[in-house]
A and B are shown apart, each in its own frame.
Chain A
Amino acid sequence: MKDFPYTEKKDTRSGFGAGLHELGKTNPNVVGLCADLTPSLKMDAFAKDFPERFFQVGIAEANMIGLAAGMTIGGKIPFTGTFANFTTSRVFDQIRQSVSYSGKNVKIAASHSGLTLGEDGATHQVLEDIGMMKMLPHMTVINPCDFNQTKAATIAAAEHDGPVYLRFGRPSVPNFTPADQKFEIGKALMLNEGKDVTIFATGHMVWEAIEAGHILAEKGIDAEIVNIHTIKPLDVEAVIASAKKTGAVVTAEEHQINGGLGESISGVLSRELPTPVEFVAVMDTFGESGTPAQLMEKYGLKAENIVEKALKAIGRK
């Protein structure tokens, strides 16, 4: 099992802020919109340095999505920013009609996704957003794992022609991917090659998967770990190739079991290569208030849970 050294923990939302600020310097067509959460989204540097391209829309998310769709007409590349909950379930119809169905080049930046938003509780902890967004035709769904990858994904989203849902979060997590990485939308990243079981993980759960890999190695189990940063389009080829090699699969995500990464992967495998799949996800329930660590433990989203499901999947071979 490979080691993944890192020097610091950072929040993925700051990776977005850094990527957006970089885009402000390099791409004059990039504009930012925010619904009264500029510091939370780490959009303040962009707002300060590119004020003519930053639009404060107030607490009016539906209008923000519509504005962004309209701004694309004439060549702008809008990034909208608010919490994941307020930019998916609250405005699903606006995204569906004005962005996705209209094929507009809007980048929907979603922070504070999942349980790790923490103390604010279930009103704010959206666990259904990946499902909603991946169901929309034309939509690309990205959920990077650390600061560096989120920054790279933000830049890649601007280069991609079409609507993108970019999901990230609040907690500080190990920043272990390369600072100079080129982010390829739709390309699964092999983190550790193994032969006994594959762990497909996305977002914050990638680090948990790495920790699970170490625990499994101590038990003599050789886990393959794949970072699925793009849930749609899914890297079907990589999923099938890995499942073929290991014959057992675990998916890990900070999302409902319904509608998430696990569902996408099991869908592919049931069609192409029936394989035992176990799911680490939130099991069709709402979250609650607590610290991120407490919540991840209570709802079964820790490395230990991945290990348990890996053993179960192997047992089903």
Chain B
Amino acid sequence: MSFNITDEEVKKLEDVASQVRRDILRMVHGCGSGHPGGALGCTDLLVALYFKEMTHNPEFSMDGKDEDLFFLSNGHISAVLYSTLARAGYFPVPELATHRKINSRLQGHPATEEGLPGIRMASGSLGQGLSVAAGAAQTKKLNGDDKFVYVLMGDGEQQEGQIWEAAMYAPHNKVDNLIGFVDYNNAQIDGSTDEVLNLLDLGAKYKAFGWHVITCEKGNDMKTVLETIQEAKAASKQGTPVMVLLKTEMGHPIDFMVGTHKWHGQAPNDEQLASALGQVKETLGDY
């Protein structure tokens, strides 16, 4: 298929992603806690969605009528969502400094309670986002709204039973305006997913449940990510939902964070932050 992507766009989006990664590193360092690994690994996807592929309005409305919706099911990587939303204009960028601190709208895991624009559902307790996204997608169909609903899940999260309830439901009910992503980095808190509870052939599982499955081998390459999203959209609205297995690298591209699950839920110290920031350039101005 042909793609609607220019080299200039890719360059611009890579610059945004670089700034988002700086934000993530500074946010988790700033509060001394959080989940930088998965956030860094999913940065390219979120930037591609919010800065190119999604129709959305930073003048936030909960109902999101005639907008594409995005749900983050693996809520622990909240830092990437917060930075992306702020950089996309949903709320002031300096507010990123309040992440995980008292009296903040930027809770440790995404929440609606404090009214942060861009958040439609609390997440953090894993396994719930695919159901929520399927429900929102069905409401769009009932309302004659032809926009998409996207949801991102972790690969470790696939161990939750509710995922498979929703996985069975969506194809049966032809929820074909739903596009799911699995952050397929083979890493979770206690080790690799292979060691903890092997997902085996995850793509075959979703196929057997009736999904159209796309595997993206380069989930940290902006051009490839854009192509994958466009391929997923093209495969949608044909009677089946689409699941993308997005192969990412936890901690990408920070040299001391990649290749291990150890940066799933740990903040860098001052020296580590300096080293990490030296590897991702400031493009839009730090908060």
Contact = CB atoms under 8 A, between A and B. Distances in A.
A97 interface: yes
Contact of B134 (A65, A70, A72, A96): A70
A27 interface: no
A88 interface: no
Interface residues of A, number: 32
A68 B131 CA distance: 8
B162 A70 contact: no
A52 B142 contact: yes
Nearest to A106: B135
B158 interface: no
B2 interface: no
B140 interface: yes
Contacts, number: 115
Interface in B70-94: 71
A74 B111 contact: no
B144 to A, nearest CB: 11
Interface in B96-148: 111-113, 120-125, 127-140, 142-143, 145
Interface residues of B, number: 39
B122 A97 contact: yes
Given A74-B63, A103-B113, A58 B169 contact: yes
Contacts of A76: 139, 142
B166 A66 contact: yes
Contacts of A69: 121, 131-132, 135
B122 A63 contact: no
B143 A74 contact: yes
Contact of A73 (B64, B124, B125): B64
B69 interface: yes
Nearest to A91: B162
B132 A70 contact: yes
Contact of B169 (A65, A67, A73, A74): A67
A37 B131 CA distance: 20
